[in-house]
Amino acid sequence: MRREHPTTVLRPPEQDTAGTATAVAHPNIALIKYWGKRDERLVLPWTGSLSMTLDVFPTTTRVRLDAEAGHDEAILNGVPATGEARRRITAFLELVRELAGRPERAVVDTGNTVPTGAGLASSASGFAALAVAAAAAYGLDLDEAALSRLARRGSGSASRSVFGGFAVWHAGPDTGTAADADLGSYAEPVPTADLDPALVIAVVNAGPKAVSSREAMRRTVDTSPLYRPWAASSKDDLADMRAALRRGDLEAVGEIAERNALGMHATMLAARPAVRYLSPATVTVLDRVLQLRRDGVGAYATMDAGPNVKVLCSRADAERVAEAVRGAVPDGTVLVAGPGRGARLLNEGGR
C-alpha cells in the first residue's frame, strides 16, 4: 500500500500508535456491473466487473485495537453502529483476526462523506478503508491483490476501491475448490489510454434504498429469467470495455457502460417480485442524456442500486453536461467527479 503523510488529516489528528491505523478510500462506479454472487459467504461474483474510482466522497476509517475490550465497537459518522451494519463490520474484523492470529477486539471509527445506502457506493469506500486500516492495525503485511481480496469479503465492490483510476475485479475460476476460487477473485488496475473522463453525478434522492443491493442481487439471481442472459452478455461487455479503454475510445466506453447498466436493471425488473430502483427523476435524467447525444455531446448514463444517475463524459464536456442535468432535475444535487486514488493509510501505525 502507498503510505503518505498528508498535510491535512480528515479526522482529529490523534497520532496513530501501535495497534492503531487510519485509512482513506473513495467509492467507485462500475462501468461493467457486479450483480449476483455465486458464493455468498466468500462474496464470489458470477461475472467480472470494471469500475472507475472517484475523487469525491472519501471515507476515513480509524481502527484501534483494544486488548481489554470483550467485543468490537463501530462508530459510523459519530453514531454507534447497530443491526446489519454492526454485524458486517464485526464479521469482517473476525476474518482479519483469523488471518492475523490475534485475538484483540477493535474500535472502528468511520467518517463517510457520501449518503449511506443510496446507491452511491458507500460500502465500497467503507470496506476498502476498513480493510486497509484493519490490516495495518492487526499487523498484516498484505500486497494490493491480497487487500483487494480481503476488502471483497466485506463488500464485493470494495475490492475495486483498493485501486485508483480504472480497476477490473476478476470473477475468478468457477472450477476447483471454494478456497481456490477465493484466491482467484480480486481486483487490479486496468491499462487505459488517455481518456480524461468525468462522471457527472446526479443525486436525485439521497435517502436509503428500500431493498438492499445484497437482497436485490440474491432475488435477481434466484428468480429473474433475464439474469443468465445478462451475465453471459456482461462477460462480452467486459472484454469489449477493456479493449475500448486500451484504445482510449470514450464513445465506445460510454456505449458499453450504458447498455451493461440498463441490462442489469432489466434483470431486476424481471425478478419476482420485481426490484425497481429507477424513479421518474432517473428517467428524466436519462432523457436529458439522450438529448445531449443528439446535440453531439458524448454523454452516457449508468445507474446502480438506487435512482441516482452517473453520466460519463469527457472532462472537457463535464460542465456542459452538469448544467444540462441540473436543468433536468432542479431539486437534485449535481457534482462532477474525476478518477480518484486508491485506498491508502493516512499515517504509519499498527505495527
CA distances from 296 to 94, 174, 286, 311, 315 (A): 52, 43, 16, 15, 15
Name the residue type at position 166.
F
Among 22, 24, 34, 172, which residue sits at the site for ligand 2P0 (rule: CB under 6 A)?
A: 34
Least separation in angstroms between residue 110's CB and ligand 2P0 is: 15
- Could you tell me which stretch among 31-39, 102-110, 142-150, 181-189 binds ligand 2P0 (CB under 6 A)? 31-39
Q: Is 330 helix (H, G, I), strand (E, B) or coil?
A: coil
Residue 187 lies near ligand 2P0 (rule: CB under 6 A): no
Query: Which residues are CB-neighbours of 132 under 8 A, at least 6 positions away?
Result: 1, 21, 23, 25, 147, 151, 162, 343, 344, 345
Name the residue type at position 5.
H
Residue 155 lies near ligand 2P0 (rule: CB under 6 A): yes
CB 322 within 8 Å of CB 330? no
Nearest residue to ligand 2P0 by CB is 156
- Could you tell me which stretch among 30-38, 110-118, 135-143, 199-207 binds ligand 2P0 (CB under 6 A)? 30-38
CA distances from 194 to 165, 197, 245, 248, 293 (A): 12, 9, 9, 6, 22
Q: How far apart, in whole angstroms, are the C-alpha atoms of residue 199 and residue 321?
A: 10
Residue 27 lies near ligand 2P0 (rule: CB under 6 A): no
Number of residues located near ligand 2P0, criterion CB under 6 A? 14
- Could you tell me which stretch among 32-40, 64-72, 142-150, 329-337 binds ligand 2P0 (CB under 6 A)? 32-40
CA distances from 77 to 59, 104, 109 (A): 10, 23, 8
Residue 304 lies near ligand 2P0 (rule: CB under 6 A): yes
- Could you tell me which stretch among 155-163, 187-195, 286-294, 307-315 binds ligand 2P0 (CB under 6 A)? 155-163
> In 3D, which of 118, 114, 160, 50 has the Cα closest to residue 309?
118
Q: How far apart, in whole angstroms, are the C-alpha atoms of residue 150 and residue 161?
A: 12
Spell out, one character per residue from 218 to 257, where the chain touches ligand 2P0: x when CB under 6 A holds, - when not: ----------------------------------------
Residue 43 lies near ligand 2P0 (rule: CB under 6 A): yes
Q: Which is nearer to ligand 2P0, 65 or 121 (by Cβ)?
A: 121
Least separation in angstroms between residue 214's CB and ligand 2P0 is: 4
Residue 89 lies near ligand 2P0 (rule: CB under 6 A): no
Residue 49 lies near ligand 2P0 (rule: CB under 6 A): yes
Catalog residues that contact ligand 2P0 under the rule CB under 6 A: 30, 33-35, 43, 49, 123, 155-157, 213-214, 304-305
